[in-house]
Amino acid sequence: MAAAAGMNYGRLEVKIKRVCQRKRARDHLKAHLTPARKRGGAVCSPLCNFNRRINSIMAESRAVEYCSDSEDLFGDYDSILEDSSVLAKLDDAEQNERLRGAEQQPEAEDVLSDSILDGLGDEPFEDLPASQLQFQEEVQEKAKRSRLQDGDKTSTPFRGLANGEGPPRRPAAARRSVADQLKRTMLGNAAAPPAVSRTAMLKEAVVSEEINVAMQAMETVSADMPDLGPFFGLPSKVKELMFKLRGIQSLYDWQQTCLNLDCVQQRKNLIYSLPTSGGKTLVAEILILRELLCRRKDCLFILPYISLVQEKVRGLASFGLELDFMVEEYAGSKGRFPPVKRRNKTSLYIATIEKGHSLVNSLIETSRLDNLGLVVVDELHMLGDGSRGAIIEMTLTKVQYVSKTTQIIGMSATLGNIKDLQTFLRAENYTNNFRPVQLKEFVKLHDTIYEVDPKEENCFRFSRLLNFKYSSTMQKIDPDHIIALVTEVIPAHSCLLFCPTKKNCENVAAMICKYLKEDFLRHREEEKGVLLRELRDSGNGSLCPVLKVTVPYGVAYHHSGLTSEERKLVEEAYSSGVLCLLTCTSTLAAGINLPARRVILRSPYVATDFLKRSQYKQMVGRAGRAGIDSVGESILILQEKDRNMAKTLVCAPMESCYSNLMHDDGKGLLSLVLSLIGLNITSSVEQLQDFLQGTLLFVQWQQLCVERSLLEAVQQCVDVLKEKELITVDSQSLRVTKLGKATYKASVDLTYAEVLYKDLSKGLESLLLNSYLHLVYLVTPYDLIDQCKPNWMIFFRQFTLLSVAEQKMSAAVGVPESFVARKAAGQTVKKGVNVAAVRRMYLALVLFSLLKETDVWSVSERFQVSRGFVQTLLGSSSAFCSCVLHFTEELEEFWPFRALLAELTRRLSYCVKAELIPLMEVAGVLESRAKQLYAAGYKTLTHLANADPAALCTAIQNLYRKQANQIVASAKMLVSEKAAALQEEVDELLAPPSDLPQL
């Protein structure tokens, strides 16, 4: 059609200059889902290809000005569109259509056909103003309705007459031209309130639609398209959360390089090594998020200590809520085996070394290990750390053997034999010496300080002399010049002072405070007073006499003798600058991240053992606070006798890391073989041998086991397990017994499996149910027995307070009253008594008292042991109680213990009044905080999950906003986890069984 052809004038370029309001920048909305031509990049993936109309409306183009006042908007309309007026073209099209219609139907005058608009088509209107777009849409909608009503191909609506007459004639005056309609629409828009531009509203709607489409695309993206965005394959929202929750705006160069390595992109195994405080964990977290969000696979994050697990759970709970994945804690007695199988959400399991191994075993047993996309191991060098290193090796070997799709990432400080670990894990290696803050290492000998310089012949280069005047009295009390070294930096800067023993920490802290000036007392005096009150509240009115003296000076000690609440309060006060000096043991360096301007090593010893190179590097690595200090420094205090050994300590390469499967007479290898048979991974000696070729032990076999072959070692393990009645050998086929299955599933040490079975069997004969004492005795950990040295007078006094039934129960397990009385009287007992049972009963009495009173301080004073030891005993007992519970679940004869131990595990895990337990399930909420929350009206987990963090800060004294946010986020995650578990159970119950018999 000529008219229609004449209308094909191409795309219009309309540029609008706003007089009343500037166009807002949209740069912040340009994300990975923004069309490529908008970002200036290449063509996007299908995720970015949104509706062309959205693109054209959002596009920027050249413009002509228009007026915003009340003058005639259409008087010179041609000038707006320069050389091509839409109105003029519409008039031409109408005229041509009428002429054509008149030729075909002379009697049907002034009939307006929608074919005019068909002639114009969609394309020319894409860049029109909002009002013209609205007009186009209205007319097309009317035409669409007409077609549906009449079922006719003709666009002009009419109702057919019964006598066959044509459509009725419409008066000429009744016809409204397209141009008139367009003008009316535009005038209506112009008369609208000018507060918000209609075009702006339309663009806002378009932006919202773009975001919605993008989010839908993210949700439906397949595993073949993991790259969802510009932040290392993650949505831009992750980058925003990193800034919002962590304050991280950009990554270090090494982090970007590491994340862009080919092996990372190809999901190969990776070991990366950097000095302490280099930012290793952030890389692991980004890789974890990519696995959870892009590949929709679960992840396992293994950390060495319970405190680190809890800290990481608190830190990542907010990410889980924002990005819709679960964060689950596996530490102590916490963790579900097997984990809840979720259909719609992925899970991040954050676990200790032991719990991580149990979790992998349960996933293998339920054939779900392939759902685990990534395993991250922090402090990978702990592979060389005794029995815990053996457990890490077992875990990683099983993952590699059973699942070919699970990626393994290991983080570590620099290792001497990294090649062995690469071979073991079939991994790439990335090493960098980056530190955000430069570290300068020094040693002090007499009153002279030397800088460590490996290039020097003697390894030390003279730096300076100490400039501090000592009186003769001070010289005797402080021969190592510790006061001089710490006062050079405190209170303006922070300082960590590592001591060889716990007692030395307390003594040194008290000694330093004796010689500090009164100015230290006035530094942040009010906040120190608050800290002292919180410490007293955490002890139910009791306050450590050493801390009472040192805290006013800004000094405190930090070691395992403190309760977990005291340690947390001291750590928070140090991080905020209220405390400027901590005297601590080496465990602080391996635990939480508490950096300092200066790190001082009181001695090159831990207890009586000379420091290892890895321990030394971990301690001095705490020097230098990123973003605060430009340099960090460490000072090792030496005696002349240690000078030569110290040269090796500070200048030698890192120690090598060796397999510990053969540690302690091969206990680790025995445990591994038992679990392999129990999990049906292997069923013959040959298969066992094949599996063990994937271990670090096999890589290092020539160095560690020269005297025998791998086959001989395997055969010896099989013989020992058969002798212990943990496995059976039937025509070369290996099978696990019920006792063997209970042992590996409960993660019970093989040394104690038989003893535990006998104790539980004997306990069934005369189980005392009117008291917790018998059950507490049965779950008192065997590995703490050697650390117990009973005070016989205290033992006898507590024994006499027991009921008659409890005393009979004690005699039944081998600890009669007569024996305790004679030992208390100082008499020699000729009759042989089981020493292990006596010590275990003493520890059981400590736990029994704690369950009754729930006050660590009073119990520690009564038994004259440190409150830290009481709490360690409590934590170990709750974990072992959980193990014993799993042990009894596998053995039918122990059915009475199951319900009893489930409740006891819960009591031991928290050891508080029953009403506080729901609050203490939240990561980071300890007893004193739970009491504050309960008193403020937050009595349930649901209360906390729905709390306003700002209201929490107001209601709870000295609760910081960051802490409140973490508490609320952790509570929400727990509620969500419990609700999801219930929903999964409901779905499973309602789903028809897959093996339903068919007729």
Judgement on whether residues 507 and 597 belong to the same structural domain of the protein: yes
Judgement on whether residues 540 and 680 belong to the same structural domain of the protein: no
In this structure, is residue 676 part of a structural domain?
A: yes
* pTM of this structure: 0.75
Judgement on whether residues 593 and 543 belong to the same structural domain of the protein: yes
Q: Which amino acid is at 822?
A: R
In this structure, is residue 702 part of a structural domain?
A: yes
CATH number at residue 573: 3.40.50.300
Judgement on whether residues 378 and 502 belong to the same structural domain of the protein: no
Judgement on whether residues 479 and 612 belong to the same structural domain of the protein: yes
Judgement on whether residues 449 and 425 belong to the same structural domain of the protein: no
- At 341 the three-state DSSP class reads coil
In this structure, is residue 118 part of a structural domain?
A: no
Q: How many structural domains are present in the chain?
A: 3
Q: What is the pLDDT of residue 595?
A: 86
Judgement on whether residues 426 and 570 belong to the same structural domain of the protein: no
Q: What is the pLDDT of residue 232?
A: 84
Cis peptide before 338 (omega within 30 of 0): yes
Q: What is the pLDDT of residue 30?
A: 45
- At 736 the three-state DSSP class reads strand
**CA atoms of 978 and 983, how far apart (whole Å):** 9
Judgement on whether residues 476 and 586 belong to the same structural domain of the protein: yes
Judgement on whether residues 593 and 534 belong to the same structural domain of the protein: yes
**CA atoms of 44 and 829, how far apart (whole Å):** 85
Chosen domain end from 617, 651, 685? 651
Judgement on whether residues 398 and 480 belong to the same structural domain of the protein: no
Chosen domain end from 431, 464, 495? 431
Nearest Cα to 503, choosing from 550, 559, 582? 559
**CA atoms of 483 and 501, how far apart (whole Å):** 19
Task: Please give the C-alpha separations between residue 293 and each of 54, 260, 323, 409, in angstroms, as whole numbers.
Answer: 27, 18, 8, 18
In this structure, is residue 600 part of a structural domain?
A: yes
In this structure, is residue 161 part of a structural domain?
A: no
Instruction: Judge contact between 660 and 393, C-beta under 8 A.
Output: yes
Q: Which helix (H) or strand (E) holds 992?
A: none
In this structure, is residue 314 part of a structural domain?
A: yes
CA atoms within 13 A on the CB side of 469: 0
Look-up: residue for tokens 């001095």? 620
* Average confidence (pLDDT) per 10 residues, the chain, 999 residues: 41 42 44 43 42 41 39 42 52 66 49 44 48 58 57 40 43 52 60 53 60 54 50 86 88 92 93 85 94 94 91 92 93 89 89 96 95 94 90 97 95 84 95 88 91 84 86 87 92 92 93 90 90 90 92 93 89 92 86 85 89 87 82 92 87 86 90 96 93 94 85 92 92 90 93 93 89 94 90 94 93 91 86 88 94 87 90 92 94 92 90 87 86 91 92 86 89 90 85 82
Task: Please give the C-alpha separations between residue 169 and each of 103, 110, 166, 259, 792, in angstroms, as whole numbers.
Answer: 16, 8, 9, 74, 118
Chosen domain end from 594, 624, 651? 651
Instruction: Judge contact between 189 and 131, C-beta under 8 A.
Output: yes
What is the arrangement of strands in the sheet containing 298-302, beginning at the earlier edge strand? 326-330, 347-351, 298-302, 372-377, 407-412, 270-273, 428-431
Burial class (CB in 10 A: 0-12, 13-18, 19+), 903: exposed
| Buried/exposed 247-273: b ≥16 CB within 10 Å, e otherwise | eeeebbebbeebbeeeebeebebbbbb
Q: What is the pLDDT of residue 18?
A: 43
> In the beta sheet, which residues pair with residue 65?
17
In this structure, is residue 858 part of a structural domain?
A: no
- For residue 404, the enclosing domain spans 236-431
* First CA to last CA distance, the chain: 66
CATH number at residue 692: 1.10.10.10
Q: What is the pLDDT of residue 393?
A: 97
Judgement on whether residues 600 and 726 belong to the same structural domain of the protein: no
In this structure, is residue 744 part of a structural domain?
A: no
> In sequence order, which ranges of 353-456 are alpha helices (DSSP H)?
353-365, 386-402, 418-425
Judgement on whether residues 367 and 491 belong to the same structural domain of the protein: no
